[in-house]
């Protein structure tokens, strides 16, 4: 204490000097500059995205002040810094600045906004407490670098599970022929039953939607039972007899009798039509005709009618000729009369009896006349004159042309149906001859019969022999 008392002034002076020295040193240190390396990362992922710059700053400055002084943006919402912004420059050698990435995470039907400076996509998911399943898909992948190019991260929940279902197995139908069943009939003897198969599929769901299904097993757990159907093959045989009866017209035979007066006719044998009875047995199998067999064929021959015709010429006594009656003048122009030949009963004549022609009968008359006498005017006039001569006599089946032409046993053209080929035919000369004879009274002869062959005293007119 004595020493301090004796040297008090010296001690005080020393302390003052020491304090001044410390203050001076501190001032000098505060005014010193220090180098700091600054790296700025735009976080674009491209080459050259990281820029490095060396700067100097007063040691007593904060990092915030230094960065602001050097023109860097100081914003912790959009950038991350490797050191505390309030740290002194004297304690810092390097500062790293990295631009943060902002975007959205799509997961579980939601959108979660994020801002991060993490290194990878997986880091961002961890920061946001998003856990991943083993099959979940992340786009971009969890190992992808988080750069400013990443604005959206998609998490797809993937789940795979096995699903079991059953399907029906349709039964088959088996047909068995049965000769004891009638053909066309059937009978089910065993009812069919569907089978069952158990199917397992491996199904993949993404975000709850099925995206893939793969069959992993298909096991028949119940076999189907085939349906058995008996098919009848028995043939049903039936038969019937078809009976056809047809009439066979009789023919007429003319016999000349020189002992009978000319023009007298006697029926010696009355004509009787014959008949044919044909029986055919038709056999059917299941209603379908399979055969025909003639059982019987019986014919009853017709009995020809025999007529005798007198050819004896009557003796005419000479007598004083009487005053001839005037011949009526026909209403229409008629062909010029031709002189009679040396027989005395052929050659055109006029003024004979006439008959109105029913339009419905005209075609029939013309058709029969055409077949009997040909299609020329002269041949047709010969036949129709014979017909009208018979009409005048009344002894040949009637008092009109149709009755005479269709009388039994007379004209074969009608009886055998040959006339039909001329029905509606273009036969103008025949039609004219029929009109001239029936309506205008023109006749080419006075005979009442004709044949296709010559007889005693007959006259040929266009191939027919008239007598």
Q: How confident is the model over 75-84, as pLDDT tens digits?
A: 888 898 989 9
CB contact burial 421-439 (16+ within 10 A = b; e otherwise): ebeeeebebbbebbbbbbe
The average pLDDT across 145-157 equals 90
Tokens for 96, please give them: 């790293």
Report how far residue 460's alpha carbon sits from residue 281's, in angstroms, rounded to the nearest whole number: 52
Residue 1 is predicted with a pLDDT of 58
Identify the weakest region by mean pLDDT among 59-73, 327-341, 448-462. 327-341
For the chain, the C-alpha Rg in angstroms (whole number) is: 71
Mean of per-residue pLDDT scores for the chain: 85
Tokens for 21, please give them: 């020295």
Report how far residue 379's alpha carbon sits from residue 433's, in angstroms, rounded to the nearest whole number: 9
Report how far residue 166's alpha carbon sits from residue 197's, in angstroms, rounded to the nearest whole number: 6
What's the full length of the chain, in residues?
A: 467
Name every residue whose Cβ is closer than 8 Å to that of residue 203 and which is 6 or more positions away in sequence. Answer: 160, 161, 162, 163, 210, 212, 213
* CA distance to 145, 154, 244, 428, per residue, from 111 (Å): 21, 9, 101, 109
Report how far residue 350's alpha carbon sits from residue 369's, in angstroms, rounded to the nearest whole number: 20
The average pLDDT across 297-322 equals 74
pLDDT above 90 for 110: yes
Report residue 420's pLDDT band, with 50, 70 and 90 as the boundaries.
Answer: very high
pLDDT above 50 for 328: no
Q: Which residue has the tokens 């010029």?
A: 336
Identify the weakest region by mean pLDDT among 197-201, 209-213, 231-235, 366-370. 231-235
């Amino acid at each position: 204490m004595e020493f301090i008392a004796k040297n008090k002034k010296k001690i005080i002076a020393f302390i003052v000097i020491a304090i001044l020295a410390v203050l001076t040193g501190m001032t000098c240190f505060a005014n010193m500059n220090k180098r700091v390396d600054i790296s700025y990362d735009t976080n674009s992922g491209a080459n050259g995205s990281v820029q490095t710059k060396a700067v100097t700053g007063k040691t007593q400055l904060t990092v915030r002040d230094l960065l602001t002084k050097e023109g860097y943006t100081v914003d912790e919402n959009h950038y991350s810094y490797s050191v505390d912004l309030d740290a002194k420059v004297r304690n810092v050698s390097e500062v790293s600045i990295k631009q943060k990435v902002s975007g959205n995470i799509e997961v579980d039907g939601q959108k979660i906004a994020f801002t991060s400076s993490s290194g990878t996509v997986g880091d961002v998911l961890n920061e946001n407490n998003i856990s991943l399943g083993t099959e979940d898909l992340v786009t971009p992948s969890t190992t992808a670098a988080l750069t400013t190019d990443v604005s959206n991260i998609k998490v797809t929940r993937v789940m795979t599970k096995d699903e079991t279902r059953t399907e029906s197995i349709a039964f088959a139908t088996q047909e068995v022929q049965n000769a004891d069943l009638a053909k066309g009939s059937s009978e089910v003897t065993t009812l069919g039953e569907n089978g069952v198969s158990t199917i397992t599929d491996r199904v993949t769901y993404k975000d709850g939607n099925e995206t893939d299904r793969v069959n992993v097993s298909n096991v028949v757990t119940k076999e189907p039972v085939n349906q058995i159907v008996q098919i009848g093959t028995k043939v049903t045989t039936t038969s019937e007899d078809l009976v056809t009866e047809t009439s066979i017209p009789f023919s007429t035979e003319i016999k000349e009798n020189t002992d009978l007066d000319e023009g007298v006719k006697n029926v010696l044998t009355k004509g009787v039509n014959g008949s044919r009875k044909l029986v055919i047995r038709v056999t059917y199998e299941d209603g379908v005709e399979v055969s025909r067999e003639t059982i019987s064929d019986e014919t009853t021959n017709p009995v020809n009618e025999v007529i005798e015709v007198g050819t004896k010429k009557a003796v005419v006594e000479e007598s004083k000729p009487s005053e001839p009656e005037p011949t009526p003048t026909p209403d229409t122009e008629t062909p010029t009369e031709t002189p009679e030949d040396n027989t005395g009963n052929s050659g055109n004549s006029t003024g004979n009896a006439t008959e109105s022609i029913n339009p419905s009968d005209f075609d029939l008359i013309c058709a029969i006349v055409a077949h009997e006498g040909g299609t020329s005017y002269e041949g047709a006039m010969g036949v129709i004159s014979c017909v009208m001569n018979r009409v005048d006599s009344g002894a040949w089946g009637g008092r009109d042309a149709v009755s005479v032409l269709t009388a039994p046993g007379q004209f074969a053209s009608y009886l055998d149906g040959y006339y039909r080929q001329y029905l509606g035919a273009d036969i103008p000369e025949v039609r004219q001859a029929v009109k001239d004879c029936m309506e205008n009274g023109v006749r080419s002869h006075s005979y009442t019969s004709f044949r296709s062959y010559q007889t005693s005293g007959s006259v040929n007119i266009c191939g027919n022999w008239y007598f």
